[in-house]
Amino acid sequence: MPAEPQPGPPSSEPPILPPPSTGPQLARAVLDAARARREANRSRRTGSGRDGGGDGGRRPRGYSGPGPDPRDPQLFGDVLARLVKSRGWQQPAAEATVFGAWEKVVGPEIAKHSRPVKLEDGELTVEAESTAWATQLRMLARSLLHRIAKEVGHNVVRKLHIHGPSAPSWSKGPRRVRGRGPRDTYG
């Protein structure tokens, strides 16, 4: 029986390494390793995709076949909905729907005479074209909230602030006169 080497102080001689592969030898070694990996993967499979064997639910590359496949073309709306959901953009998208589809949300008659101004913390500010329309919209506030909730989702808009048109301001502009303002001009 040969004697085992005893651990001791390291020898001063460097270990003997095989000569480094260069050029064609290196390429051949890489190709052989890739072939060995491919053969190992083939032997692990229980069958191939063409003869109906079980390949772990994976389909072969190329033609997807008659059944549904994730590689099949998808509807743009479905892809966009998945993206919005995966990124957590449901709330901002619902808020944008209030502004982008105002006519669809509240109806064409109301949309003709009003517009959403801002949405902050679930409170929507709506500007009416006249004070009469602002009064009408205040009376319809509950039904407007129900319509908005039905169209864009609950808790997107929880409260409405409705006001009439804003009056012109004389405090800014190129022809501003300092002082008490237009007194006897109006009325």
Looking at every residue in the chain, the average pLDDT score rounds to: 78
Alpha carbon distances (Å) from 34 to 39, 84, 85, 153: 9, 41, 40, 55
Other CB atoms within a 10 A radius of the CB of residue 59 amount to 14
The whole-number average pLDDT for the span 7-27 is: 64
Q: How far apart are CA 149 and CA 135, in angstroms?
A: 22
Among the ranges given (39-43, 71-75, 146-150, 167-171), the one the predictor scored with the smallest mean pLDDT: 167-171
Q: pLDDT digits over 22-64, tens only?
A: 777 878 888 888 888 888 888 776 454 444 444 555 655 666 6
Give the pLDDT band of residue 152 (cuts 50, 70, 90): confident
Q: pLDDT digits over 117-137, tens only?
A: 988 888 999 999 999 999 999
Alpha carbon distances (Å) from 187 to 61, 165, 172, 182: 83, 21, 22, 10
Residue with tokens 């491919």: 38
Q: What are the domain boundaries of the chain?
A: 88-163
Q: How far apart are CA 104 and CA 132, in angstroms?
A: 22
pLDDT at position 49 is 46
Q: How far apart are CA 26 and CA 42, in angstroms?
A: 25
Among the ranges given (7-11, 122-126, 147-151), the one the predictor scored with the smallest mean pLDDT: 7-11
- Parallel, antiparallel or unpaired: strands 123-128 and 159-163: parallel
**Predicted confidence (pLDDT) at residue 187 exceeds the cutoff of 60:** no
DSSP class per residue in 79-110: HHHHHHHHHT-HHHHHHHHHHHTHHHHH-HHH
Q: CATH top-level class for 88-163?
A: alpha beta
Written as six digits, the tokens of 10 are 């390291």
pLDDT at position 93 is 85
Residues 6+ apart with CB under 8 A from 140: 110
Give the pLDDT band of residue 162 (cuts 50, 70, 90): very high
